[in-house]
């Protein structure tokens, strides 16, 4: 099956679950900014975990030349098939020759399109994930974002039958992407290098998502916080690490972060909240709160078990 990009939108990439375990070799982890939406898209499209899909900002448009099954997820996603509105967060049967338009109603948020089948896209360093900064992945293997008139192949899943029951995630179970609740932060081992005043300032202030955000990191503006550390060696950077440079404005490191960094870190955004934060757009205001690591671990186990239970009920 041939997929043709009619309009790339603002920015669109082919992504998968990333270069897991390759950070020690100098490659960034990459992967989906919102791994929850990515996982649900593949599940609802009857794909295996880790199958490539498209992560898009803005309204993207494609055409398929064979019948297929797709799913669209993300923050406030929209889906049109030949101009007709269809539901997101559920399997959709698409006819040959149809035009698929998808994106998010909130400009700057990410939408995910999964297409059922075996994606014929090259892998670089074990992954098809596109990292523009490192010139890795994508259709050309050199980190190029998708552009108008690009084409790629997806081998349809021949095991799918017309009688196959379509999958749907009820609205009540779709992730809440709002920021009424604080973003939880697990303190890091440099936590003690920040004064009690700095920690209190960080936890009681509202921080605004700046316009300087990308797949590498999210910068926030607000009350500055400072560390007592004057010099430190560069060290490995984990997803969600909150670095504090000399200006005191926090930076949350995201999927395409550099492998090493030399700024002190307040801690790390809980894995339960990193997807919500990844869908934030400039101008939104966020609160942070510190969380015990054992409580964070329990929350993560509850979240993953809940997802497995939901998927079992949908099957």
Q: Given pLDDT bands bounded at 50, 70 and 90, which one contains residue 158?
A: low
Q: Does residue 198 share a domain with residue 149?
A: no
> Contact at 8 Å (CB) between 111 and 104?
yes
How far out from the chain centre does Cα 246 lie?
Answer: 28
Same domain? 18 vs 107: yes
The answer on 240 and 108 residing in a single domain is no
> Is 88 in the same domain as 217?
no
- Decide: residue 234, CB within 10 A, 0-12 exposed, 13-18 middle, 19+ buried: exposed
Asked whether residue 314 is assigned to any structural domain, the reply reads no
Domains: count for the chain: 2
266-299 pLDDT, tens digit each = 999 999 999 999 999 999 999 999 999 999 999 9
Q: Answer yes or no: do 236 and 303 share one domain.
A: yes
21-43: average pLDDT: 95
Question: 281 near 108, Cβ under 8 Å?
Answer: yes
Q: Evaluate whether residue 178 is within a structural domain.
A: no
Please indicate, yes or no, whether residues 301 and 211 belong to a single structural domain of this protein: yes
**What are the distances in angstroms from CA 159 to CA 14, 94, 286?**
25, 16, 45
Question: Which residues, in sequence order, are bridge partners of residue 233?
Answer: none
Are residue 187 and residue 162 in the same domain, yes or no?
A: no
- pTM confidence score: 0.95
HSE-CB for 235 with a 13 A CA cutoff: 11
Mean model confidence pLDDT for the chain? 94
Domain assignment present for residue 315? The answer is no
Q: In this model, does residue 82 exceed pLDDT 80?
A: yes
In this structure, the strands spanning 99-104 and 260-261 are: unpaired
Pair 168, 244 in one domain = no
Between residues 230 and 188, which one has the greater pLDDT? 188
In the block, residue with structure tokens 């490995």: 236
On the question of pLDDT at 63 being above 70, the answer is yes
Is the pLDDT at 125 greater than 90, yes or no? yes
Residues 46 and 164 in one domain: yes
Q: Look-up: residue for tokens 């490659």?
A: 27
Parallel, antiparallel, or unpaired: how do β-strands 288-290 and 183-187 relate?
Answer: parallel
Tokens of residue 265, six digits: 């870190």
What average pLDDT does range 79-89 have in this prediction?
97
Q: Is 235 exposed, middle or buried (0-12, 13-18, 19+ CB in 10 A)?
A: middle
Q: Over the stretch 194-205, which tens digit does the pLDDT of each residue have?
A: 999 999 999 999
pLDDT tier for residue 161 given thresholds of 50, 70 and 90:
low
Note down the domain range covering 267.
183-309
């Amino acid at each position: 099956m041939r997929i043709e990009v009619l309009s790339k939108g603002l920015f669109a990439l082919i992504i998968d679950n990333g270069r897991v375990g390759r950070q020690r070799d100098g490659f960034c982890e990459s992967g989906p900014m919102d791994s929850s939406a990515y996982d649900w898209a593949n599940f609802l499209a009857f794909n295996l975990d880790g199958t490539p899909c498209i992560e898009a900002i803005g309204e993207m448009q494609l055409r398929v030349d064979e019948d297929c099954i797709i799913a669209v997820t993300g923050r406030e996603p929209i889906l049109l098939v030949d101009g007709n509105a269809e539901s997101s967060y559920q399997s959709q049967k698409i006819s040959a020759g149809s035009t698929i338009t998808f994106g998010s109603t909130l400009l700057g948020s990410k939408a995910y399109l999964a297409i059922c089948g075996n994606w014929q896209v090259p892998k670089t360093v074990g992954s098809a994930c596109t990292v523009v900064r490192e010139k890795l992945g994508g259709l050309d293997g050199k980190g190029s974002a998708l552009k108008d008139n690009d084409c790629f192949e997806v081998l349809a899943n021949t095991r799918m039958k017309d009688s196959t029951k379509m999958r749907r995630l009820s609205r009540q179970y779709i992730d809440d992407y709002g920021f009424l609740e604080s973003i939880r932060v697990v303190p890091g081992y440099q936590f003690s290098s920040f004064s009690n005043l700095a920690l209190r300032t960080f936890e009681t202030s509202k921080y605004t998502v700046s316009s300087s955000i990308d797949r590498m990191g999210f910068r926030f503006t607000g009350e500055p916080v400072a560390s007592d550390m004057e010099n430190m060696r560069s060290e490995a950077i984990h997803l969600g690490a909150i670095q504090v440079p000399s200006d005191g404005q926090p930076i949350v490191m995201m999927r395409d972060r550099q492998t090493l960094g030399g700024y002190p870190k307040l801690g790390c955004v809980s894995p339960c909240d990193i997807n919500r934060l990844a869908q934030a757009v400039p101008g939104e205001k966020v609160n942070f709160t510190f969380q015990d690591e054992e409580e964070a671990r329990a929350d993560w186990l509850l979240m993953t078990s809940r997802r497995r239970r939901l998927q079992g009920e949908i099957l």
